[in-house]
Structure 1
Amino acid sequence: MLKSHFRGSGLQFREHQIYVPGDDVRFIDWKLSARSQNTYVKTFEEERNVEIVVMMDLSQTLLYGFEDVSKLQAMIEIIGLLYILAGETHDLVRVVIWSNKTINLPPKKGKEGLTLFISMLERLGLIDEDGKVILKQKGPLNNHTEENKIAQIKSFLARRKEVIYLGDLSLVKNKELWGKILDKKNMHCFRVFSPVDKNTDLPFLFKAKNPLTNRGVVTDLRSSEKDPLFMKQRFKEIGVHERYLEKFVKELV
């Protein structure tokens, strides 16, 4: 999946093989063929140096979900899947966690990356020692402004990194600001949602503290079909009530 979607920067020589009809004649090694009784072609493999940057946007609204599966749990499993896949393709995954501060984990792959990621979640008090999400959290989980988030994303996009946003977009207020980056070719935005987020008839009120003023606020999280950010399909959606790991792979490909 990663090889088909995130392309490497070039090709590197792998080995010689005996020419068979249908092989590309441009890759015939004429010098080697002249010294032997067979015609040989050079074969190549994709040079993998892809770094995938995952922006993990924490919020209080990630703590609810569907049938004991929170949106935060689904996000953690998706990032774990990326680490495992990167271990097979020799790519690297960098996770940036937007919490009360920016946590920028160094690029890793496979079990090493997964261990580092899980350890950080424990330190942040998001999961317990058994790996279960702690749903009762004290205080806001994220105090970043939208301008700060966009600036961080732009810095990775400018360095031609493959950027994946994971969050429920509940903290998005400035649609115009986000719209300027969601159309970038190397930007992949995924909204993780639960069935209650799709409610359009009744208000869904969520009480929380404003991370900047520390004052209590009540937000209506009711979805809007007329929201321009939603209408232009600039992001893909992953539901916690679905087979979300499969859905993530299919949507990414």
Structure 2
Amino acid sequence: MIDRELAARLERIRVLTRRKITSTFAGDYSSAFKGRGMEFEEVRPYQPGDEIKFIDWNVTARSGEPYIKVFREERELTMMLLLDLSPSGLFSSTQKSKNQLAAELCAMLAYTAVSSHDKVGLCVFTDQVEKVIPPGRGNKHVMHLIQDVMTFKPSGQGTSLSAALEYMNRILKKRSILFLISDFHDRGYETHLARAAEKHDLVCIQLLDPREESAPHKGLFRFKDPETGETILFDGRNRKGRVEWERLYHERQMRLKTLVKEKGADLLTLHAGEDWILPLTRFFLGRGERP
């Protein structure tokens, strides 16, 4: 059983995500991740604008009227959401933490998948794989998945992208769509990421807090790493310190972009506290336009 507060939160996120999944958005997703081929569905009378190459000449000859072959996409795709719920996702300088953004994003992607008749599953990880929901279809399955995202309390205190990627590489036998959702505060996962990108359609979604990009300009701050417990004292009035903060951020971003591109995957960076629908839509559109 779930309490009333959680039930209300689940209903809000259901309404929020379903409202944002327009037919256009779902179509952009379907174009971005195409199925295995086209399957014949039916013939119908020719309409102005139909392509001549699809005319069914046998039916046309028998009926004396032009008829068109209609095909539908044979999808049978599987989406797996690899969700990093390590403690670093709890950090927030806005009203929404990275983990809260991750929950909304998972809901959106899951509902989009089932609306396109694809399967969707979930793998929650920290420094280990903590929970797996096998791929399934339907709104009831998605609500179960979202509930687990919002209520799961991980035990791990670190981040291991290698653990999640290695697990997916081992259990998924068919090519699938992998959304790796994390802040990517980790190292040493390059080999596993390369293997996942080779076997599957891998999309890395990096979630960032605005404070990670730019340092505070005033005051004295004590920052604590939620995964290691290490603390640092930062003086926002120190210009050299702010410049170094931003230099390290841009250096880290460049390393990640270069790595993902070299391994043949995609990278999308989203910021907590900002509207992420537009960049996600642009990403789908960009992928759909690829040859």
TM-score, normalised via structure 1 length: 0.77
Asked if structure 1 preserves the Cα contact closer than 8 Å seen for 2:124 and 2:130, the reply is yes
Q: Match for residue 224 of structure 1?
A: 249
How does 1:98-177 map onto structure 2 within 5 Å?
98-99=125-126, 101-121=129-149, 124-125=152-153, 141-142=156-157, 145-155=160-170, 159-170=174-185, 172-174=186-188, 176-177=190-191
Separation in structure 2 between the aligned mates of residue 27 and residue 71 of structure 1, nearest angstrom: 48
Q: Match for residue 48 of structure 1?
A: 75
> 1:188 aligns to what SS in structure 2?
strand
Q: Which structure's residues are more often helix, by fraction?
A: 2
Query: Is there any run of 5+ residues in structure 1 with no aligned partner, and where?
Result: 127-139, 211-215
Pairing 1:245–2:271 present: no
Tell me the percent identity. 21
Separation in structure 1 between the aligned mates of residue 177 and residue 111 of structure 2, nearest angstrom: 17
Question: What per-residue deviation string (whole Å, max 9, x for no partner) do you get for residues 61-101 of structure 1?
Answer: 11122432111111111110112212321111111111464
Separation in structure 1 between the aligned mates of residue 71 and residue 92 of structure 2, nearest angstrom: 46
Query: Structure 1 residues 66, 209: CA separation in 2 closer, same or farther (over 3 Å shift)?
Result: closer
Question: What per-residue deviation string (whole Å, max 9, x for no partner) do you get for residues 27-56 of structure 1?
Answer: 322222222120111111111211111110
Aligned-partner residue type, residue 97 of structure 1:
V
Asked if structure 2 preserves the Cα contact closer than 8 Å seen for 1:150 and 1:178, the reply is yes
The alignment covers a number of residue pairs equal to: 233
Separation in structure 2 between the aligned mates of residue 73 and residue 168 of structure 1, nearest angstrom: 13
Asked if structure 1 preserves the Cα contact closer than 8 Å seen for 2:93 and 2:209, the reply is yes
Which of 204, 224, 234 aligns to 1:189? It is: 204
Asked if structure 2 preserves the Cα contact closer than 8 Å seen for 1:51 and 1:92, the reply is yes
Shift of 1:209: 5.0
Aligned-partner residue type, residue 174 of structure 1:
G
Aligned-partner residue type, residue 250 of structure 2:
E
TM-score, normalised via structure 2 length: 0.68
Shift of 1:183: 5.9
Asked if structure 2 preserves the Cα contact closer than 8 Å seen for 1:225 and 1:231, the reply is no
Query: Is there any run of 5+ residues in structure 2 with no aligned partner, and where?
Result: 1-27, 234-244, 261-266, 286-291
> 1:14 aligns to what SS in structure 2?
strand
Aligned-partner residue type, residue 194 of structure 1:
D
Separation in structure 1 between the aligned mates of residue 41 and residue 225 of structure 2, nearest angstrom: 58
